[in-house]
Structure 1
Amino acid sequence: MRPTLGGWRRLALLVIVVIALVTVAGAATTGTDDGQPSGESVLNDTRERYAAADSVVVTANVTVDNGSANHTATVEFAAAGNQSRSVVTTDNATYRTGVNETVAWYVGPNRSTAVERGVAGRVGGVDPAGNASAENASASVAPSNWSADDANLSVTYLRQGSDDGTDAHVIEVRPDDADARTTATVWVAVDDSRLLRLEATDETNTTVIDYRETRFNASVHDSTFDPPSDRLSITAVERYDAFDTAQANTSLDLPRLDAEFHNATVLTRAAGTHAAQRYRDDGDDVTVVSTTTDREFNRSADNVTSVTVDGHEANATTVGDAAVVYWEADGVTTAVVVEGSEDRAVSLARRLD
């Protein structure tokens, strides 16, 4: 059975679940009586080891097996400062994502996108913080990305053993919730606290991450975090704090919302121009997009409803927790994005000047 794109997305999501599981904040520690370290202290040492490094470069093999299908991928991850990049390679496709000082970007077999860091709107694979979406979230194989979690966990030191000839602490992590089914076993190198292997099961899927290579403080050139120029050529990214300034610096005829203007970002690349305005209206963050690029605003949508906006035939839909209304006229696609109902998005779109 050949894995589908959906299968790879599920694989990436499973990796995130596993990584979240082994986060040790708030964990209950099961120690030993023979002088061995506690499981919590081992994981804390690992997290601190990665967080303290100026850069981390990781190559890992990821396998998810549900008993009837086996999905595998190779993940290459690099991080330095607030920049990161991951490359996920499967049998038949490669997915790349990255965040540099300017933009967050994603490049897949059939789609590519980039937005200025901090632009609101979960459209096109990037969330409001500028982070790549779950499609390519296997970059979370690096524990420097682990964040605190409110879940109560039990961490048990199992034994000191060997992983492929490397002396390792072997730890088991499980949630205290009696209804939880996921258990993770983690191998951590004794000599330098780097991850060696992670195995997790939820009684349906077994996920294995083998860390083939980990390098700390390696020299990583800034160009590592740039999108591939043959797929996503970005010539300029400009941010403006006033509507009039944004309008004066783009050839697009920008629509204006009668609400509190925050900023606008204009991204120019070979495929066209993309402008995103951010507003605040009645407690809601609203993004107004104008683009001449090929954007799929209904991607991952449950359904699409036909509506009319200022005489234009438009579509309203929900993507995740955001409602989107979009239409095309004279080669420019306009979209209004808000975390709310589709009716709310339609109402906002009809207020554009």
Structure 2
Amino acid sequence: MKNVFNSYDMKDLKLKNRISMAPMTRSRTIKGEVPTEMNAQYYAQRASAGVIISEATQISLQGQGYADTPGIYTQEQIDGWKKVTNAVHEEGGKIILQLWHVGRVSSSKVNGLQPIGPSPLIAKDTQVYIFDTAQSKDATMIPVEEPKEMSNDDITQVIEEFRIAAKNAIEAGFDGVEIHGANGYLLDQFLRSNSNKRSDRYGGNKENRIKLLLEITKEVIDEIGEDKTGVRLSPFIKFKDMDDPEILDTFMLAAKELNELDILYIHLCEADWDDAPQIPESFRKELRAAFKNTIIATGGYSLDRANDVVKKDLVDIVGFGRYFIPNPDLVNRLKNNYPLAQIKDSHTLFGGRDEVGYSDYLNYKA
């Protein structure tokens, strides 16, 4: 019977199972947003996943929205990520880098720059975080600032930054990249009618609102190939002031266009809180009909639910997020029905200069 423990070929990328470690922001870089040996250990410990999708990684200083998140735009960052990819590959794992631009979800207190976005509309009830000192245990939440409306030159620059970031990711040893078009960040802001009020070729109808996503995807494909390019989208998630009544139609149009580009996968980011909206099976079937390649789904899945969507051929790979934090050997625990460890201290989820709550969780001992 088809289940998440089966091997799976994602085009030329041969995966040992259908479980993905989902991208999770942990804010654990050093000065210059550079990954370290500690990051390498953390990811290598979790290399039993069929594929790891890295934490969101900004393509430029302008693209950063939170403190201590990694970048992929300097040589030091590339060299730092090489430690991670080498460590994962030595453990027999696969790892994809998620490329990120936060757009309007930022503050000048994070990176010294005014945020940018499709329109000069602040994201209501939205915060980002900084650390007051290098020794701070807790992040300090601050409100986002009003963004500057992006000019044509700004858009051209962002497209180029995604291309260069993809090139840098392959130099750093990643098996591919994931373009982050979800969760209220820059590309999601262009997709949605409530955050995109432009009157040029990037705004107005849904055909225009998907243009930036498609242009970036084409540039990334031209640089590294469609077999190394995935896209993450979140049509059912409304936080960060992203409630758009047209998003499902816009998403499906984008999915059909991405299918024509023959990209590696679409990663469906689903809500994972208790009263989150359930995605109807009819939507999953429509997506499967529109997009022929791999579909990844992440968002509060249990093992039974993950196996159900895989068995029904609605999803090819299921991502697990927080379970992977205290259970580096999550695949083994799920497969053998071993107990799952719990997160020791929520204060350690975001930020830290040592391994506590990060790479100090142990594998299961029977």
TM-score range normalised by the length of the shorter chain:
under 0.3
Q: Which structure features the higher share of strand residues?
A: 1
Q: Which has the larger radius of gyration?
A: 1
More relative contact order, 1 or 2 (CA 8 Å, 6+ apart):
2
TM-score, structure 2 length as denominator?
Answer: 0.24
Q: Which structure features the higher share of helix residues?
A: 2
TM-score, structure 1 length as denominator?
Answer: 0.25
